[in-house]
Amino acid sequence: MIKIRLSRKGVIKNPFYKIVAIDNNQKRDGKVVEVLGFWQPKKDLKQVKNDRINYWLSQGAQITKSVKELVNKK
């Protein structure tokens, strides 16, 4: 099953997250199927590919609570 979740990058005290479509059995930073955007909380930067997220949701992917809040937040 595919999940849409966050993958942490960056350094200590300066996180950078990628929004990814990834197989449910992979680790948090494992091999991704597709990168769907990013979020940098310190600088409040966010880029989301809503069309691709909607595509994966139509294919049966599940979205995590944190990513759902990010997508809905303007």
Q: Give the global pTM.
A: 0.88
Rounded to 5, what percent of the chain is helix, strand, coil? 25, 45, 30
Homologous superfamily (CATH) of 2-69 is Ribosomal protein S16 (3.30.1320.10)
Each domain of the chain, given as residue ranges in start order, spans 2-69
For the segment 12-56, what is each residue's pLDDT rounded down to a tens digit?
Answer: 999 999 999 999 898 877 889 999 999 999 998 999 999 999 999
Task: Look at strands 32-40 and 45-48 and give their pairing.
Answer: antiparallel
